[in-house]
Amino acid sequence: MQTFVKGKRVGYWLSEKKMKKLSFQSFVDLCSEARVDKSEVKQHGNIFPHVLLRVKLDLSEPLEKQGPFDVIIHKLTDHIVDADQNITESLRLVQGVQDYIDAHPETVILDPLPAIRTLLDRFKSYKLIHKLEDSMQDDRIFSPPFMVLQTDCGTQETLELLHKHGITFPFICKTQVAHGTNSHEMAIMFSEEDLKDIKPPCVLQSFINHNAVLYKVFVVGEAYSVVQRPSIRNFPSGPTDRRAISFNSHHVSKPESSSHLTCRDNTEGQSWKPSHEVIQNISRRLRQALGISLFGIDIIINNQTGQHAVIDINAFPGYEGVPEFFDDLLSHVTSVLQGQACNGDACGHLRVNGTAQSHSVACVMHCGVMGNDSCWLIDSEGLKKGGHQDLTCIPPNFHQHTRSSLLAEASLNV
C-alpha cells in the first residue's frame, strides 16, 4: 500500500485507444484504493469526502474549471503532432492545456510538452542522445551515425551527404515524426540503387548488426524494466545487390514475431547481456535533460563490440510485458506529490517532475530542448572505442525490472 497523500488531485488524459491498450482504468482504481487523491465534491447540496483519482480531463472545456490539479498525466502525442501540422482542433486543445500549465506552474506535468515535442522528432531526439552519450564518456555506449533528409536532392548528393555523416550501407530509413502508424514503417537500404526509393522528410541511420535482439527499456520515474524482443537479423556490411527491404518495426518487435527478417540463423560475434549500469545512466541522463518520467528506450547491442546503441526513444510507450507498470506509476506519482513541498532553495537543487537537477543539468535541459549547442562542451575526439568487461551471454526470455536511484546527481561535464 502506498503512503497516504492527503488532499492532492491528479488529472489525466489518454485517448480511448490508449486507455484500453493499457487497461488504464485499473490504475485509476489502484489510485483510489491507495488514497492518492482525496477531494471534496459537492453532491446534492452537501459536501462529501471522496477518495479517487481525478476523472479524465475534458479537453473541450477549460481546465481551469476542472482543477486545481497537483499532477496531470497525459498522452497528448496525437494532438501535439496534429497541432504541429496546423490542424485547428488540435491546436485549440493543446493550447488549452498549455494555458493551464502557464497559469499553474506549480502543477507537475507528466510529461512536459516541450520534451514530448523533442521525442516526437527523431532527428532532435537523436541529436540529444548523441550529446548525452558524448558527455558520458562511456566506451560501452555509442551513437550510430545519422542524418536528416528534408528534400529529395538526387542520388549523387545523397551519397555525398551519407559519406559526410559517416553513414554506410546498409542503413535504415525512418520517418522523422516518431509517432503514429506511419512512424513504424521503415526500410533498409543496401545500395545506391535503393536511394531513389527514399521519401523525405526522413532520418537515415546506420544499421548495426545486433543478432536480431532488441532491448526495450520502459522507464517510470526511478524504476525501469528491460524486456527482450525480436529484431532485424544481421546483414553483411557494405553495398550489396540486395533490394531494399521495407518493414513495420512494431510488427517485427512483437514478442511472438517470427519471420525471415527476425531469423537468428546467422548469429555472429557474441550475444551480450545489457549492462544495468549503462541503462541506468542513459535513463537518468534523459530524465535530467528533458524532465521526463514516462518514456521508452530502444537499445541494441553491437554483436562484435558489446557497445549499447540507443536507436529510438518513445514518449509514454505501451509498457507491454511490464506487469509492474501501475505500481511503478503510482509510486512515482506519490513520490512527486510528496516532493512538491521540497523546493529548490530548501533542498539545494532544482527539481523538475520529481527529478533532482544540478545547475549544469538545468542548463542542459534548456539548451538541449531548445537546440542551443553553446551549452555543450563536446570532446573533440568524439566517442572512444574500447574493451568491454563484465558482459556475459544473455539468458533466454530475458526480463529485468529495477527500481533504482535514477534521481542520483550526476555531472554532465558541461
Binding residues for ATP: 122, 174, 205-216, 231
Element (H, E) at 48: strand 46-51
Maximum distance among all Cα pairs of the chain, rounded to whole angstroms: 77
Tell which phi-psi region holds residue 283, choosing left (phi > 0), alpha (psi between -120 and 50) or beta.
alpha
CA nearest 98: which of 78, 76, 113, 86?
Answer: 113
The sign of the torsion formed by the CA atoms of 66, 67, 73, 76 equals positive
**Helices 122-136 & 359-370, crossing angle to 10 degrees?**
150
* Among 260, 248, 235, 214, CA closest to 170: 235
Q: How far apart are CA 403 and CA 219, in angstroms?
A: 10
**SS3 of residue 188 by DSSP:** strand
If one counts every other C-beta atom within 10 angstroms of the C-beta of residue 62, the result is 12
Tell me the binding residues for 1D-myo-inositol 1,3,4-trisphosphate. Answer: 18, 75, 184, 216, 314, 318
Please give the grid coordinates belonging to residue 191: 545500395
Residue type (1 letter), 71: V
Binding site for Mg(2+): residue ranges? 298, 312, 314
Torsion-angle region of residue 313: left (phi > 0), alpha (psi -120 to 50) or beta? beta
Rounded Cα–Cα distance for residues 301 and 215 (Å): 9
Cell 523533442 belongs to residue: 118
DSSP string for 326-360: HHHHHHHHHHHHHHTT--HHHHTSEEETTEEE-HH
Beta strands (DSSP E) in 198-333 are 202-206, 213-220, 223-230, 245-248, 294-301, 308-315
Instruction: Establish whether the linkage from the previous residue to 111 is cis, with ω within 30° of 0.
Output: yes
Residue numbers belonging to the annotated binding site = 18, 75, 122, 174, 184, 205-216, 231, 298, 312, 314, 318
